[in-house]
Every structure is written in C-alpha cells, then in structure tokens.
Amino acid sequence: MFDLVSDVDFMEMMPNTSVLGPKETHSTDCNGLYQDLTSIHALDISTARSNDFYALSSSTASPVSASTGKPKRKRVISSVQRQAANIRERKRMFSLNEAFDSLRRKVPTFAYEKRLSRIETLRLAIVYIAFMTDILENN
C-alpha cells in the first residue's frame, strides 16, 4: 500500500511531522523566472491579429488525424500569436505551480527537508491520502 513512494518513507516520518510548515525557501518563484509575469498582464493579447490561417500541410505526405481520419491541417500562426500563446502557456504553468505549492503545504514533511519536487509532492500526497483513509476506515 505504501510502496508508491519509493523515495519517501512516509511511515517513518509520521510520528514527528507537522502537517503544515515545510519551509518555503523555494517558492514558485524559485529562480525569479516569473518576474516577467507582471509584464504579461500588460501585454494586450487581443492585439494578436487573426490574419493567420489554417493551411493544409503542403508537404508531400499530409498526416492523417488518428481520431477523425481526416487529413491533418497544419496550424500556421503569426509571431504575434505565437508570443501570445507563449504567454498563456507561462500563465498556465504558473497556476499549475501555484497548485503544486498549495498541495506541498498540505502534505507532511520535515521542516528541514528540502523542498519536495513536483513528482515527490504527488507521490507523497497519494500516500498521505491512503494513510488517512486507512485511519478513518479502521475507526
């Protein structure tokens, strides 16, 4: 049951853990890489014009959609649209990391432990939920 997390010995850590309080030495903004998010809001994505188009792949072999069986259409976008898509993707990843951070705060860790990676966070959360479920079912 607890073998999901090979690199975290949950049973061993339980007696001494606080549910909250992993040190936040390393927030989402770990490398200052999100400093530009402020400027993201300033960028008017609506300026991405719609003079772009879908075009049939002009290459020799046009691939076929696995789901529809129709020929795949290559989506051609302008550099402005590409930039806007990059910004949206950064925002999306930012909110994903915010969710990881809030999950990190919910799973028990030793205060001195280094920040959990995303995969460690997910695995520990799975084990933690299973552990708590086990406790509830045996009471």
Partner DNA sequence: TAGGCCATCTGGTCCT
Partner DNA sequence: AGGACCAGATGGCCTA
Note whether 121 and 106 are within 8 A (CB): no
Decide: residue 127, CB within 10 A, 0-12 exposed, 13-18 middle, 19+ buried: buried
Out of 18, 62, 65, 133, the residue judged to bind DNA by CB under 7 A: 65
Nearer to DNA, 75 or 134 (CB): 75
Nearer to DNA (CB atom), residue 58 or residue 139: 58
Q: Which of 19, 43, 93, 99 binds DNA (CB under 7 A)?
A: 93
Interaction of residue 84 with DNA, rule CB under 7 A: yes
Q: How far, in Å, CA of 131 to CA of 108, rounded?
A: 12
Closest CA to 50 of 76, 89, 73: 76
DSSP state of 38: H
* Residue 127 contacts residue 8 (beta carbons within 8 Å): yes
The window from 10-18, 105-113, 116-124, 130-138 that contacts DNA (CB under 7 A) reads 116-124
Share in percent of the chain as helix, strand, coil (round to 5): 45, 10, 45
Note whether 127 binds DNA by CB under 7 A: no
Neighbour count for residue 13 (Cβ, 10 Å): 14
Instruction: Kindly state whether residue 105 participates in binding DNA, applying the rule CB under 7 A.
Output: no
Q: How many residues of this chain bind DNA (CB under 7 A)?
A: 40
Could you tell me the smallest distance in angstroms from the CB atom of residue 73 to DNA?
8
Per CB under 7 A, contacts with DNA among 2-21 are none
Question: Which residues contact DNA by CB under 7 A?
Answer: 28, 30-31, 33-34, 36, 45-46, 48-50, 52-54, 63, 65-68, 72, 74-75, 81-90, 92-94, 97, 117-120
